[in-house]
Amino acid sequence: MTETNLFLRFGVALIGGILVGMQREYALETPDKPLAAGVRTFALVSLLGCAAGLLCDNTHSAWPLVGLALILGAFLSVNYYVEASQGKVGLTTKAALLLTLCIGALAYWNFLALAIALSVAATVVLSIKFEVHSFVQHLTHDDVFAALKFAVISAIILPILPDQRYGVPPFDIFNPRKIWLFVVLISLISFVGYVLVKIVGSKKGIGLTGLFGGLASSTAVTLSFTQRSRENAAFSHSFALAITIAWTVMFLRVMVAVAVLNLALVRLIWIPATASIAVGLLYCLYLARAQKNDGPQEKMVFANPFELGPAIKFGLLFVVILFAAKLAQTYLGTAGIYLSSGFAGLADVDAIALTMAKLGRDAGGIAPVVAARSIILACVANTLLKGGLVIFGGAPALRRAILPGYILLLATGLAFMFFI
């Protein structure tokens, strides 16, 4: 090991200890109040962990680190006893000190990325104390039961489903695990939205769900909030904003997915995709202003954050559309690429985007222009389906709020597709 590398490892240990120690001092309500462990203590403990790792290597024994951990544990036990006798019960700082010792040791053993990640994670966990406690205090029995139901369908049912295709070729497209995975995804979007509403409030939580949910499945976001709109029509502008955000993010997600397989194809689709993103963002700004001007609204209550019924229904719809897309692609051949892309986009825009990206790159595949137009057409078709879900399944107020943006997105995608 070179001297430079050795100094780097001790430096990472020092920075990790300082980071956690700064949070502990910042969390102290009164600056003049004595603190059991602050920046200096945490920094020294991390350096001690790094030095103990060095001694372990040189002595070929784990005892230097074990002995140091025992000594530190004894000091922390005495400190806890003294504080407990004064009515102060808490193990957070003590646990953070032990973790900092491990961070120092990991830094010496060249797990630098892990050491930094643990330092940041510890700082974040220590910093969100009040938010976490506030969230837990607002939990109900139904909330815990909903989380358990989601755990059952995702951690128990999903792994035991067969991960293989069923059906007669070329229609062997029915994979139970992938279909159920989509059901889990829809349920997760709904549950994440509920958690965000609990943490940051109704309107902010809904908007964040649209943003992050759009990265995973804009269709799932659309289905979830369309169903919610029938229960909470007063929040239609908030739901419309979340749905429009998800639709807008979908175009960005498709561009990134295509870039992974075929960067050259991005140069063809970026004009219609960027135009659609711009239109979506502008309409999101309009909805955000309308949302602020809605005036006082009653607090939204999600009686059941886990809706399995609608998720299963959409899973069945996914299977039907997937079969229709495969049917068109099989019997229309190359001449039906656009038509099959439109059908496939109804079910899964990511799948058709990646397929076209691969075919547009491979020798003997399809022309890049055809591949690019097929991707945009799939995005438009996917938006068409999601808008249909809102129009036919959402509350009237949600339809009125989202219809102008829906028409603008469809028109923009189709118009700019000819610029490819």
Give CA–CA dist 165/16, Å, rounded. 48
Q: Determine the average pLDDT of the residues in 186-211.
A: 66
- Measured CA to CA, the distance from residue 370 to residue 338 in angstroms comes to 8
User: Within a 13 Å sphere around the CA of 363, how many CA atoms are in the beta-carbon half?
Assistant: 0
Does 143 or 301 have the greater pLDDT score? 143
Q: What is the pTM of this model?
A: 0.58
pLDDT at residue 144 in the model: 76
Question: Could you tell me which residue, 284 or 195, shows the higher pLDDT?
Answer: 284
Lowest-confidence region among 165-174, 184-193, 261-270, 303-312: 303-312
> Which pLDDT value is given to residue 137?
73
State phi, psi for 42 to the nearest 5 degrees. Answer: -65, -40
Q: What is the pLDDT of residue 297?
A: 46
Looking at the predicted structure, is the pLDDT value of residue 199 above 90? no
**In the predicted model, is pLDDT for residue 150 greater than 80?**
no
Q: pLDDT at residue 159 above 60? A: yes
pLDDT for the residue 358:
78
Helices (H), 293-367: 308-332, 337-347, 349-359
- CA triple 106-112-115, angle to 5 deg: 55
Cα–Cα distance measured from residue 393 to residue 226, given in angstroms and rounded to the nearest whole number: 6
Q: Which of 132-136, 139-143, 298-302, 407-411 has the lowest mean pLDDT?
A: 298-302
Q: What is the pLDDT averaged over residues 120-125? A: 92
Query: In this prediction, what percent of the chain has a pLDDT beyond 70?
Result: 81
pLDDT (tens digit per residue) in 210-229: 887 777 678 878 888 888 88
Q: What is the pLDDT of residue 240?
A: 92
Count of C-beta atoms within a 10 Å radius of residue 28: 12
Element (H, E) at 336: none
Q: Is the peptide bond before 368 cis (omega within 30 degrees of 0)?
A: no
Structure confidence by residue, pLDDT tens digits, 369-400: 888 998 999 999 999 999 999 998 899 999 99
Residue type, 110: N
Question: Would you place residue 120 in the very low, low, confident or very high pLDDT band (cuts 50, 70, 90)?
Answer: very high
What is d(CA 386, CA 351) in angstroms, rounded to the nearest whole number?
17
Neighbours of 90 (CB within 10 A): 11
Average pLDDT of span 352-378: 81
- R_g over Cα of the chain: 27
Residue 206's contacts (CB-CB under 8 Å, 6 or more residues apart) are 193, 196, 197, 225, 235, 238, 239, 241, 242
Average pLDDT, the chain: 82
Mean pLDDT confidence for 197-205: 60
pLDDT tens-digit profile of 9-52?
999 999 999 999 998 887 765 555 556 678 899 999 999 999 99
CA distance 102 to 9: 13
In this prediction, residue 30 carries a pLDDT of 52
Pair 227, 398: CB distance under 8 Å: no
**Average pLDDT over every residue of 58-71:** 93
How much is the pLDDT for 299?
Answer: 47
pLDDT of residue 37: 74
Spatial CA neighbour of 222 closest among 341, 388, 345 = 388
